Structure 1
């Protein structure tokens, strides 16, 4: 009987649609594998691993489910996570409590708090990361946690669709700068909250754009903190950007050039001041002021969460709702007609972001007559390599998920391994060896100790692409059937009932 894999009528588009329906990667990295033991070759599909739904919905879905597990596993812990060496801690966020001010701040900033910012409350510190236990009058104990949302201030009036009511009066520059440095303001908030709460507050935060494309933070917080304390910390938190002023561009129609050692004015031959020289001038100026000051907006949403509960499950899904979408596409309807006003809003914000400096090493400093830190040849204003300048990211070029170091005590890769272990143990309990544990592994060797499998790149044609996709679909279906049968034969404890099911694919 002829297999469907060999059917002449199966096109690449048909295979792609089938893979989508079965949650199989639609843009796999195809590699040719030579089995030296049998002298045979096969084309193997490796998932692309994209986190964007517009690129690969199945891989983006897997990434979101993994983040859901990470969030839920650390949120309502009743025991302290195991302390790990610094190099093995969570890779998502350098923890705020271990960061001081950077070299630039220490060099030029005033050590006094701003007069227009309230003082921070200070309380004795406890060496714990889990929340307190409370008891009800009837003797029941519970350990509440929190769900927090922080927003940025207004940059001008907007309509119900999130676009400026008067684009000419809208402060695009401030919105762009706030987006570029939003993560730093969030870091400062966690520093301040830990001092005011009296314990090592742990968090799982997701950075998302509001409908007006302004970044805001949704965060799960382990433990309960008085709402008045949080409001006080929000009001007292600010970020001063101690950079050379960049209010007006120096070079608009011409660009400084690299002379082999420095960037110079193409007309006069004058060497542009280096980054260190620009900071020295700022530090020597008694009237020096920060280049930018940013604060959170007044709107602060807080909710107590007790797990397990439907509220906790909904909060986890909401936290990870937009992680698979690009910032510019978060609130657009992929099946609807484009909104010209929204497109114009995105274009105008992107234009502002393109030429603003995102860091000390940003090429855009040349536009303001200053050599970036560690400058080298090839820099051009408007062409900084940071993703923050891209239209897709609109200033949020860093990670969209910010996780504290002692949230779960695991790296994201370890959470992924945990999910694979659940599948493997279920199959082994039913007498089935998970095929991926030995198949084509680099550790499999021949009797002489050399690798059995040799991997090389390949560029398949459309027919090969369709065939490999169909093979992946069939393979996933077989694994799923084995996994479901194994669970029915001998259920395996896969953690809290609210966790997303383990994926055998």
Structure 2
């Protein structure tokens, strides 16, 4: 309300919405990225430059709601398209061209010459190095010709450290698993209803959890924090992704076919990670429980139960030898390889940690096109736009203390062979370098927002839908362009688009533009322009859909 002098008070001005924040809210509501990345595109023929804003592509709603929502929508499409396939998702590779065959033949000739020279025993190091360089050049040409992978898995020219192999004998405390002959298929069995004659191809929605670390309340906090096993909870979270890999291996071995899956990892209220998995095909629930009970992962690392160096009494880095030494005696600490050698030489050695699933195994049969199928897909994508630590925010002091205790347990736990926490236990990390300090590892596993789980949140098997995320994005773009009647190969449409409709053919150079560059508009201006372009595209799409009722109402943004 204006004062008698016609002016507003400071409190009234502070209560007015901030224009910049309103612009971000409008951009979020219209599905526009609020953190666009500016790229400078230069035409090599004319020298003309222009600034193109591309979405940041963040998967976290806390950073960019529009991009995170778009990513989650694509993941849902990926899950839906691959879950209930009735035919094998096979792709037949193209026949190799004469150029590709020629490069492989040249690679074979150089490889044979290199091996012949090395086996003769009188090889000149300069000649071997020249042949190694020639092999690298041939490999680059093979890749540039359009061939996937490498012509040779292991090059004889590279002296790599031999892989450590341990016994695959199962633990005595783990039950044995049945094994069926493998069948080359990924699609589950079909069942026919005798009454109606309809054919059903059910699939499964499986939920797996870790074991208990102590009694917890309904809000996830422990009943007795002093007896709650935070160390085991931290180690289970750090190695949970490996346990999932072992479960998939055992699942395929027991099922007898190449089971395909779409899985997501999220935390429970007690902050332990658990797995939701959609599998194509079905197996008996009793066998699923048997597989979960028999699945384990052993971590063969040096012992890290008792700290050797604490406080300020930490190993020092010796610049001359590039090793960490004892601060009192100056003795060089064992390297990572030496510690593993000592572990291999000990006949009574025990694994550093063994992670297992808990007894709770939930399996639900799902039929294609049912409401349960849609509900399960939504549940799989429920928490994909949040960090692990954001899925269940702490609302009480007890929950805050529970998170603090778990983060403190994770602080000094080794997360990988390169973790700086190994110095605390008297071992040099792999590839040790100056500046390492226990408790200061930069891995995201130690961060509060990840709670020990540093793996991928979405796990998709290779033959799930035979499409990558880029393929699903291309499908959406193709649908929009066909609906609008736009030819992506037409240069006129490409010049008028806010974002190029096709990849450059090599006539343009792209580079990252800094926000302080004179040709980059302010962020607020770019947001408003992007909102205007989005509204224009939406109106065009709505108009095209009104004229053609057969168009599928699929989201374009």
Would you say same fold, with TM above 0.5?
A: yes
Q: Give the SS at the match of 2:508.
A: coil
What does residue 157 of structure 1 align with? 215
What does residue 98 of structure 1 align with? none
What does residue 344 of structure 1 align with? 401
What does residue 266 of structure 1 align with? 327
**Does residue 13 of the first structure (1) align with residue 21 of the second (2)?**
yes
**Does residue 213 of the first structure (1) align with residue 271 of the second (2)?**
yes
1:433 shift after superposition: 7.6
1:84 shift after superposition: 7.6
Deviations 1:412-450 (CA, angstroms, capped at 9, x unpaired): 2212111111111211279998998554659668xxx95
Q: Give the SS at the match of 2:513.
A: strand
Flag the 1:124–1:81 CA change in 2: closer, same or farther, 3 A: same
For residues 242 and 455 of structure 1, what CA distance do their matches in structure 2 show?
Answer: 44
Which residue of 391, 408, 419 maps to 1:330?
A: 391
* Aligned positions of 1:51-450 closer than 5 A: 51-83=59-91, 106-107=164-165, 109-138=166-195, 139-253=197-311, 254-260=313-319, 261-332=322-393, 338-428=395-485, 437-438=494-495, 439=497, 441=500
1:406 shift after superposition: 1.0
Flag the 1:50–1:429 CA change in 2: closer, same or farther, 3 A: closer
Flag the 1:27–1:436 CA change in 2: closer, same or farther, 3 A: farther
For residues 435 and 258 of structure 1, what CA distance do their matches in structure 2 show?
Answer: 62
| Pair member with larger Rg | 2
1:117 shift after superposition: 0.9
Flag the 1:435–1:279 CA change in 2: closer, same or farther, 3 A: farther
1:321 shift after superposition: 0.3
1:383 shift after superposition: 2.2
Q: Give the SS at the match of 2:276.
A: strand
Flag the 1:22–1:478 CA change in 2: closer, same or farther, 3 A: same
Deviations 1:335-383 (CA, angstroms, capped at 9, x unpaired): xxx4211111111111111211111221211111111223233322222
1:44 shift after superposition: 3.9
Quick check: 222-231 or 16-25, which moved more?
Answer: 16-25
Alpha carbons 2:261, 2:460 under 8 Å: kept:
yes
1:61 shift after superposition: 0.5
Flag the 1:490–1:361 CA change in 2: closer, same or farther, 3 A: same
For residues 325 and 454 of structure 1, what CA distance do their matches in structure 2 show?
Answer: 30
Q: Give the SS at the match of 1:296.
A: strand
Alpha carbons 2:265, 2:273 under 8 Å: kept:
yes
Q: Which has the higher relative contact order, 1 or 2, with Cα contacts under 8 A spaced 6 or more apart?
A: 1
Q: Give the SS at the match of 1:470.
A: helix
1:315 shift after superposition: 0.5
Alpha carbons 1:105, 1:242 under 8 Å: kept:
no
Q: How many residue pairs align between the two structures?
A: 468
Alpha carbons 2:481, 2:488 under 8 Å: kept:
no
Runs (5+) with no aligned partner, structure 1: 1-8, 89-102
Alpha carbons 2:33, 2:67 under 8 Å: kept:
yes
C-alpha RMSD of matched pairs (Å): 3.0
For residues 163 and 18 of structure 1, what CA distance do their matches in structure 2 show?
Answer: 39
Alpha carbons 1:10, 1:466 under 8 Å: kept:
no
Flag the 1:277–1:210 CA change in 2: closer, same or farther, 3 A: same
Flag the 1:436–1:342 CA change in 2: closer, same or farther, 3 A: farther
Alpha carbons 1:305, 1:311 under 8 Å: kept:
yes
Q: Give the SS at the match of 1:420.
A: helix
Alpha carbons 2:38, 2:513 under 8 Å: kept:
no
Quick check: 63-72 or 43-52, which moved more?
Answer: 43-52
- TM-score, normalization by structure 2: 0.78
- TM-score, normalization by structure 1: 0.85
